[in-house]
Amino acid sequence: MIPNDRFNSGLHRWQLEILAAFDGGAGRLARFFVMEWHRRARKTTLALNLLIRECVEYSKRSYVYVAPTYTQARNIVWDDPNMLPAYLPTPDEMPCKKNQQKLHVQFGNGSLLNIRGAVKPDSRRGIDAQGVVFDEWAMMKEEAWIEIFRPIIAQSPQRWAMFLYTPKGINHATEMFDRVARISHGQPIPNNGLAGDCIPDWVASRLVASKSGLLTPSELEKAARDMPTSMYDQEIECARVTDEDRVLITSRMIDALRDIHRYLPETRRVISCDPSMGGDECVIYAGENTKIIDELILHERDQMKIAGHLAIMGERHKINTYIIDRIGIGKGINDRLAEMGKEVIPFCASETALVFSIWLRMGLLLTRQALRLSRCWKLSVAVPSFPMANWMT
């Protein structure tokens, strides 16, 4: 059975609304679909099963799934055992052949499902598509649609396209939704399914988690507790937050903490070093709990000399713990301090997952007023500019 029982048994009402519009149910037939749904609303699952269904139903046709990058495409649908492998037809229903190198599925009736990334849209030129799905549409350049796939879909009124996303600020994705749903003409932004009055051939659907019921109240409560407010609003409630809000730590959060003083039951001291800040500028801070007690800025690239300055500062403040950014010359400084018997905590700013977890933790602490931010002007400038959106996929 295509789609299989696993998919059919888990369909929710908003997926059924999209399928009905796709198939012409209730007198509504559309070719283009814009879905602004919250995370974990199973929009990718719906689109993937629709692609598979069309491949099985129609012979010798080509369909395309597009993610922002090749790696994301592979991770989201190809390698995940709960996605493409779970929904392909069985050999008895229709034989399929997966090509790991080209990332496509060849169906027994000659149809082809291509899995692609949108980073190099020109590489898609010449490809055919009876239908195309753009997943995480807000994270792509709109040229992938306008210049590459729109002319392909224009060849026949039977060809179609689907755009799936959770908002990432206000950009081409939200502008497309508002145009389709006639928001500029006074129509309200929907938050629980189909827009009431869409332009011809188009359907717009929007889901926020507080209305959809797809995530339990307890899970929403946990997410609200664990995530910065702006991230929760964007990812869970589909809020179209501003650039200022789309950072882990906003300037408003910092301003609210200016007069907060917290006292820790024990004294903790550490010396940190960023050997490459500002090109040839090596920045060293000595910290005690939540305040900076000493600082030194060197225009120096000699690893042994920098290690010597760090050791002298440590002796002056009786600090034996160091945090060193190991990028570039930092590794040599790290190793030299270790040879001198210092306690060195290595850190690598190029490890994006680690850096993000640190900033995320800081944002949560600031939100709960559990951390007093240093008055260091460099930190006060750097923190608000750290974009949350860079890390959301």
Q: What is the DSSP string of 243-300?
A: TTTSBSS-HHHHHTTTT-----SS--EEEEEETTTTSS-EEEEEEETTEEEEEEEE--
Quick one: pLDDT at residue 107?
98
Quick one: pLDDT at residue 164?
98
Angle between helices 330-339 and 303-317 (to 10 degrees): 50
Low-confidence ranges of the chain (pLDDT < 70): 1, 25-28, 121-124, 243-265, 277-280, 349-393
Quick one: pLDDT at residue 300?
84
CA atoms within 13 A on the CB side of 178: 12
Quick one: pLDDT at residue 119?
87
Residue pLDDT, tens place only, 220-232: 999 998 888 888 9
Please report where in the chains the tokens 């729109």 appear, as a residue.
150
Quick one: pLDDT at residue 379?
47
Q: Which part of the chain is CATH 3.30.420.240?
A: 255-391
List the structure tokens of 96: 């399929």
Quick one: pLDDT at residue 34?
98
Indicate the SS3 state at residue 132.
strand
CATH node for 5-212: 3.40.50.300
Quick one: pLDDT at residue 242?
73
**Which helix (H) or strand (E) covers residue 45, if one does?**
helix 43-57
CB 205 within 8 A of CB 195: yes
What is the pTM (predicted TM-score) of this model? 0.67
Q: Percent of the chain at pLDDT above 90?
A: 63
CA 220 to chain centre: 19
Q: How far, in Å, CA of 311 to CA of 294, rounded?
A: 13
Quick one: pLDDT at residue 367?
58
Please enumerate in sequence order all residues whose Cβ is within 8 A of that of 331, keeping only pairs 6 or more positions apart, or say none. Answer: none
Quick one: pLDDT at residue 227?
86
Residue pLDDT, tens place only, 134-152: 999 999 999 999 999 999 9
Among residues 250, 207, 213, 251, the alpha carbon closest in space to that of 230 is found at 250
Q: Which part of the chain is CATH 3.40.50.300?
A: 5-212
CATH architecture for residues 255-391: 2-Layer Sandwich (3.30)
